[in-house]
Amino acid sequence: MWRKDLADTINAANEQLGIALRWEHRSFKEQGIDREPTIHIGAVANALERKGIQTERGNINREIIKNNMLLEQAKEMLMLAKQELHSAQYVKIKNTAVSVKNEVMEMIAKVRKRKGRLDLPIVSGKHLRRISDRTALQSADNAEKFITTRKIDSFESLAKFTADKEQKYSQLETVHLSKGRN
């Protein structure tokens, strides 16, 4: 309570004099400051220190000040290391996301590189007769657009997509044929 009253009195006087310096009565620990406080050196040791004569208490305070500086540097280095780690993790996640394989697109790229177009064995097919421009089927750009827009990333997902469309087409064909007979 005395320290608080003293700090309040000093702060009020400083305010009247226009001095921006503020005194705090609470300990570093109470303020949440992770720093070791210096010790009181007393009037005699203080007079000797001002004359340039080192005292035991002055040496203790110099050691405390040095340790506090090292602690601050270590905190800064830790903060920078955490930031670098976070950045490295972000880059790793970003690169991982970019390097996710799409086996269908890889196959298209390999065939395109070798032949300049898709040289797929398109000879016949149940629905092939309905396509007027069969050369469009061998366009790598069209194939890549088709794979990308439908989010097909493996031959398994391509087979599932094909099976789903085949089932829907069969249902539509059945409905169409039944309406034609009526």
Quote the DSSP letter at residue 32: T
Lowest mean pLDDT among 8-17, 56-65, 78-87, 173-182: 173-182
Instruction: Compute the distance between CA of residue 102 and CA of residue 115 in angstroms, rounded to an integer.
Output: 20
Token couple for 136: 């469009």
Place of tokens 């210096």: 38
Nearest alpha carbon to residue 144 among 116, 119, 109:
109
pLDDT > 60? residue 52? yes
Quote the DSSP letter at residue 37: P
Tally the C-alpha atoms within 13 A of residue 125's C-alpha that lie toward its C-beta.
Answer: 13
Instruction: Compute the distance between CA of residue 1 and CA of residue 16 in angstroms, rounded to an integer.
Output: 23
Q: Which residue has the higher pLDDT, 108 or 47?
A: 47
Helices and strands (DSSP H and E) totals, the chain: 7, 0
What Cα–Cα distance (Å) separates residue 85 from each residue in 76, 81, 153?
A: 14, 6, 31
Q: For residues 34-40, give the mean pLDDT.
A: 92
Do residues 119 and 83 make contact, with C-beta atoms less than 8 angstroms apart? Answer: no
pLDDT > 70? residue 87? yes
Nearest alpha carbon to residue 66 among 38, 34, 31, 28:
38
Lowest mean pLDDT among 60-69, 125-134, 173-182: 125-134
The pLDDT tens digits for 62-72 are: 999 999 999 99
**How confident is the model at residue 149, as a pLDDT?**
87
Place of tokens 């000797």: 48
**How confident is the model at residue 8, as a pLDDT?**
94
Prediction pTM value: 0.42
The pLDDT tens digits for 102-127 are: 888 888 788 778 777 676 555 556 66
Nearest alpha carbon to residue 142 among 174, 107, 108, 110:
108
**How confident is the model at residue 92, as a pLDDT?**
67
Question: How many C-beta atoms lie closer than 10 Å to residue 72's C-beta?
Answer: 12
